[in-house]
Amino acid sequence: MFIGVSDKKEITGYRCSNADLKELSDTIVNKLAIHPVIEPVRCEGKTVLRIDVKKSKIPVAYEGRYYTRVGNTTRLMDTEELKEFLISGIEWDSLPSQRGLADIDEETVRLFVRQAKSDGRLPGADEHEPVAAILTRLGLITGDQLTNAAFLLFGKKQEQYLSDAVLRIGRFKDGANIIGDRWIAGNLFHQLSEGEEALRSFINVRYEISGETRSARSIGITRFPHSFKKHEQIMIKIYDDTIWFHNPGGLHKGLSIEQLKATPQSIPRNPLIARIFYLAGYIERYGTGIQRILTSFADAGLPEPEFQTDVWGLTLTMQKDIFTEEYLAQVGLNERQILAINCLRKQGSISKREYQDLVSVSTRTALYDLTALVNKGVLVRIGTGKSSQYSLSSKPKNARI
């Protein structure tokens, strides 16, 4: 920062007596509690005051208050804004946990090493070396203390110390009737394993295990493709027609769902935990998760999953294939119409002309069939006239889902 230069970038100079410099320095310290480097410099025959301010490791207040820049205005931060700002630069998983090696489940650590080696992501690792050495190599021990990541990933009895670090999975018949409920605690590897088992049992699907992947990436034979704040837990609600996922963490500030859909980004809030799951072969590190979810649903001919973010966190709603053989028989569709629906599952929409070509019927019959499907609530019509298209309805009438 320079004092003594006009807005037109003309050198006007500044008085830089010892008294002036002391007064300026005292004012900055008293109002901001920072200590910049202040020195006069000569420029074009005049004296200009140069002030160098290094980035602060802690937030800087003005007269004890914190301000934020919004557009072209500066305003006082409210309590919640200040709280979020103060913790925004802190990576929770790298902080010391106050837990020791006695709190680590040794078998989980060695299981992780075996998985990481089998995936080729820790080829030189030795699962038989001391646990402390393994965790140190992974950056999960700070000094002589475990990080939060180490305890959450490999610890024992987390619920005694991290009561919110649990996974809640419920099976619902509707919004009020709960058929099953699972409260899954333990370290993250245990929660992953138990969570998968609960999902399988609640969805009631048949599984085929791929020989080249472990169970966490098994192939689901189901109507769903199998790609998957304090005092709040990660929750999964399973209904007859949908699966609802909720993560109280939310998105990074300034990041939107639309941006994630358009451009893959990987910005983990807890990079140590993300790295361990990457090494274990459970996740990738390219931010392509949302794209892979969308692609898997499109390939299966299912409605696009719905992402929502608000003050409560991030939710993902997946809808199953509602156009089952049972439903198609229920609404009384003919063979031509069923063929068109199977086609729409893959290509998304169809025109009257495309329908004629697909089932080899006249213009009149095509219009009759498509209008009947619209009236039954199976299709929706988009546009008018010759440019109109027909696509599958997201909520067909009288579907038993």
Assess whether 53 and 95 both reside in one domain.
no
Phi-psi bin for 272: left (phi > 0), alpha (psi -120 to 50), beta? alpha
Under 8 Å between Cβ of 60 and 38: no
Main-chain phi, psi angles of 91, to 5 degrees: -95, 105
What is the amino acid identity at position 107? E
Tokens 């929770």 belong to: 92
Assess whether 145 and 52 both reside in one domain.
no
In a domain, 397, yes or no: no
Which tokens is 71 given? 């557009």
Q: In whole angstroms, what is the distance from residue 342 CA to residue 328 CA?
A: 11
Q: In whole angstroms, what is the distance from residue 316 CA to residue 235 CA?
A: 11
Assess whether 67 and 12 both reside in one domain.
yes
Assess whether 141 and 238 both reside in one domain.
yes
Assess whether 137 and 18 both reside in one domain.
no
Assess whether 206 and 265 both reside in one domain.
yes
Residue-range definition of the domain harbouring residue 333 = 325-392
| Closest of 296, 276, 280, 300 to residue 288, by C-alpha | 296
Of the residues 33, 65, 87, the one at which a domain ends: 87
Burial class (CB in 10 A: 0-12, 13-18, 19+), 365: middle
Query: Which residues contact residue 236 at a Cβ distance below 8 angstroms, ignoring those fewer than 6 apart?
Result: 167, 168, 169, 170, 195, 199, 243, 244, 245, 246
pTM listed for this prediction: 0.60
Under 8 Å between Cβ of 149 and 93: yes
Of the residues 32, 57, 87, the one at which a domain ends: 87
Tokens 């099976």 belong to: 171
Q: In whole angstroms, what is the distance from residue 165 CA to residue 328 CA?
A: 43
> What 3-state DSSP class applies to 68?
strand
| Number of domains composing the chain | 3
What is the amino acid identity at position 250? G
pLDDT by residue for the chain (401 residues), tens only, comes to: 899 999 888 999 988 888 888 898 889 988 988 888 889 999 888 999 999 988 876 778 898 888 888 888 888 888 877 777 776 667 778 888 888 899 999 999 999 999 999 888 998 889 899 999 999 999 999 777 899 999 999 998 876 667 678 888 888 877 677 888 888 888 999 999 998 888 888 876 433 334 444 444 333 334 445 444 545 578 888 887 788 998 887 777 677 888 878 877 777 878 899 999 999 988 876 677 888 888 888 777 677 888 888 877 889 888 777 777 777 777 888 889 988 888 887 777 899 999 999 999 999 999 999 999 998 888 889 988 878 899 888 666 554 43
